[in-house]
Structure 1
């Protein structure tokens, strides 16, 4: 089932909104329930599987010292009729990182299957 590119943009925005508002319930609805989703937080070991990923987000979202995160310059690249990659930059209080978010259609809507964020040696200027 093909979904419009705007739905991938919306899913990416929903991910960062859940991150920004520290909403674990919303974060849970963003991640795929089928297969073995993957998450690579900067400096962390690879997390495979929904349970491990949501446990990591529980720790991040309940950490009172966690920096606010926003995103900019998101670009969607369709992979096939049921998946797309969104590459964007993440801005925290003191750094800019680059992120790749891969979404696949599950239950008629894009859900996150892979999230990888890492340090960016030469970050762009934010518009």
Structure 2
């Protein structure tokens, strides 16, 4: 049974924590509570189409949760905060139970949060299929291309 909706998150990190907790618990109400109600809010699941607006986003997660919770864990989060906007680049580790036991898959994700009248809310979750964790980032340090 889904948990009772929580108090509004007070920071982008709180929004992100509630988002991933809701994924791990298949809690649609708490997952949707982090989303902006802006008509332009968007979600892209790995290999999927762009979903725009809360009704489309809700329907997609409802279908996903019909198969149960998602054992997903954010790793290597990089944060860029500018005024009332926060961009988080995330490596997601997804664990699934397969024929050979627990298998790991990765997604490269961009989560965008905006500070509005209702506090911090997610306006974009864009996930792309990843590869082995060791290969996710080409460089940890800035480089110059000539």
Work out whether the TM-score is over 0.5: yes
Structural RMSD (CA): 1.8
What is the CA-CA distance between 1:11 and the residue it aligns to?
A: 1.1
User: Match of 1:43?
Assistant: 47
Checking the alignment, whether the CA contact within 8 Å between 1:9 and 1:76 is kept in structure 2 is: no
Q: Which has the higher helix share?
A: 1
Listed one character per residue, the Cα deviations across residues 73-107 of structure 1 (whole Å, up to 9, x for unaligned) are 212101x3211111111111221111100001123
Which of the residues 89, 106, 116 maps onto 2:126?
116
Contact 1:8 1:76 in 2 (8 A): no
Q: Distance in 2 between matches of 1:87 and 1:74?
A: 6
**Match status 1:55 vs 2:59:** yes
Correspondence for 2:85: 83
TM-score of the two chains, using structure 1 as the length reference: 0.83
Deviations 1:57-83 (A, max 9, x none): 11112213x6411111212101x3211
Seen in structure 2, the aligned counterparts of structure 1 residues 15 and 60 have a Cα distance that, compared at 3 Å, is same
Number of matched residues? 118
Q: Which ranges in structure 1 are unaligned for 5 or more consecutive residues?
A: 1-5
> Secondary structure, in 3 states, of the residue corresponding to 1:27?
helix
Equivalent residues of 1:38, 1:46 under 8 A apart: yes
